[in-house]
Amino acid sequence: MDAKLIAKWFIFRNEQDLDEENIECITNLKMQKLLYYAQGVYLAYKDNELFGNDIYAWNHGPVVKEVYDEYKSYGRQGIDVEISEGEKSEILKAIGFKEDSLEVLETVYKNYAKYSAWHLVEMTHSEKPWKETYKDEVISKQLIKEYFREEVLV
């Protein structure tokens, strides 16, 4: 699965909350952290990757380059993308093929989207996968999985 698909799920999941609650729109910075946490939880829980894209250790924490490039035009603003009902349906169908992926995404969204992007940056900077990876290098999926098994899913 591609991280861009997961990113779109986070965008339309966030849309639901924007309509119902006083929630901020997801920025690219926040999206990157949500993708990292989703991958980490899924790796630890299912012993398999949620998406195949690499996650890099950038200055402001973990980043999936392809998703960053997709939404970098928004800068620090919230990602305001129209996702049609048909596209939402296709995204849900694609994600649903991966065992327990919707459950993991919903759990990650509920536990991490409530924080500001900068709070999530601080969190990732204190975590082993980012701390033990050289700047601009790929964060090992094995390192992410081990960290989330030992520290997050306990």
Helices (H), 47-140: 65-71, 85-96, 101-112, 117-125, 128-131
Domain locations along the chain:
3-152
Cα dist from 38 to 19, 81, 116, whole Å: 23, 21, 16
Q: How confident is the model at residue 21 (pLDDT cuts 50, 70, 90)?
A: low
What is the average pLDDT across 19-39?
A: 89
Alpha helix locations (H) across the chain?
A: 3-20, 28-46, 65-71, 85-96, 101-112, 117-125, 128-131, 141-147
CB 52 within 8 A of CB 118: no
Tens digits of residue pLDDT in 39-72: 999 999 999 999 999 999 999 999 999 999 999 9
Q: What is the pLDDT of residue 130?
A: 95
